[in-house]
Amino acid sequence: MSNLQLSDLLLRFIAGGAIISTFALVGDLFKPRSFSGIFSAAPSLAVTTIGLALFREGALYASTESRSMILGAAAFFVYAYATCYILMHYKVSALVASTASIVIWLGISMLLWAVCLR
């Protein structure tokens, strides 16, 4: 591994850890405490990734990353909705519902990529 790759990984590790800790702290301020997981995971990693992309690759690359993340979040929302719908209307386990919904997530993601990002 070259020094450039190692320094890039170290920067990602430090920046990601700092931002995740900040978001976790913000999440602890809200009730119920379960919100801390929501605030600490995906948003903090997205902010870190976009910041590093902006720093390393420039604004055009970072905007493409941002657009991809937004479309990925939309596809995830559809997946989560489908999983909840299956769980509430059919007598299946969470494993079955979430596994079945993966196909929906993949389909929506591919459709959004083909329409918006290609």
Q: For residues 65 and 52, state if they share a domain.
A: no
- Calculate the alpha carbon distances from 30 to 10, 34, 88 in Å: 31, 9, 27
pLDDT tens digit sequence for 105-114: 999 999 998 9
Q: Is 58 left (phi over 0), alpha (psi -120 to 50) or beta?
A: left
Q: For residues 28 and 49, state if they share a domain.
A: yes
pLDDT tens digit sequence for 16-38: 777 777 777 776 776 666 656 66
Number of domains in the chain: 2
Domain extent for 109 = 60-118
Q: For residues 91 and 42, state if they share a domain.
A: no
pTM: 0.68
